[in-house]
Amino acid sequence: MHSTEFNAYKTRYRAAIRQVLAEAAPGRLDEAAFPAYSHPNPLINWLFWQRLRVVMDYIQQAAPVERVLDFGCGSGVMLPFLAEVSREVTALDVDLAPLEWVQRSIPLAANVRALDANQTSLADLASHSYDFINALDVLEHVDDLPRTLADLLRLLKPGGQIIISGPTENILYQLGRRLAGPEYSGAYHERGVAEIRADLAKLATVRPIATLYWPMPLFEIFAGQV
């Protein structure tokens, strides 16, 4: 995605997120990363959005594709892009309220369906049906990581890929969370990205995509392929 196009995408979504934050109760949208995607600190804001751009560029190399699953879609920040590069997009999350609030400004495309994970589990989705699965900054929160990874990999088509990003949880990351503000300082992650990568390697071939950024790695992005 060209810089001009990406910056326009980012500006539109940041405006929608800020509008929602102005109306929502304090702390209600922290888990969906609303404060991060609209953070006033340019460096923090750039870092969070850069993760998305790396993933967008990676998927775009294979576009167009048939079907994509956005697991833990949160505010739906990836959905407009995914709707452009895929014939059909499934968004799944345990809390669809953040997405519904953003939809007031950015309606879902016709080829996107949003599913409540409390009503539709991964087990309910058809096996071998997705070209890509996005699991961006979500697997550090799940209770049973090995089972969740196995369920997600079952959904991939032959040759399909799961794309994962997550925090390193190292001392620099912890410090950055404290500097970013109180909404980032709580201990709400079950694990860091290294544990996620190790568990994925037991089930699939892992392909590194990016580390953001040496010499201070705060996030890793990688793909898994069965």
Averaged confidence pLDDT in the chain: 87
pLDDT band, very low/low/confident/very high, at 190 (cuts 50, 70, 90): low
pLDDT at residue number 42: 75
Sheet hosting strand 130-136, strand order edge to edge: 112-116, 86-93, 65-71, 130-136, 156-167, 219-225, 205-212
pLDDT at residue number 185: 41
Domain count, the chain: 1
At 144-176, the pLDDT tens digits run 999 999 999 999 999 999 999 988 855 555 555
Q: What is the DSSP string of 104-122?
A: TTSPPPTTEEEEETTTS-G
CATH of the domain at 164: 3.40.50.150
Q: Which helix (H) or strand (E) holds 167?
A: strand 156-167
pLDDT at residue number 18: 84
At 109-140, the pLDDT tens digits run 999 999 999 999 999 999 999 999 999 999 99
Residue type, 111: N
- How many of the other CB atoms lie within 10 Å of CB of 117? 16
Beta-bridge partner residues of 207: 223
pLDDT at residue number 20: 81
pTM (2 decimals)? 0.88
How much is the average pLDDT of 70-83?
Answer: 95
Look-up: residue for tokens 């989705």? 125
Alpha-carbon span 210 to 221, nearest angstrom: 5
Which domain covers residue 68, as residue numbers?
3-225
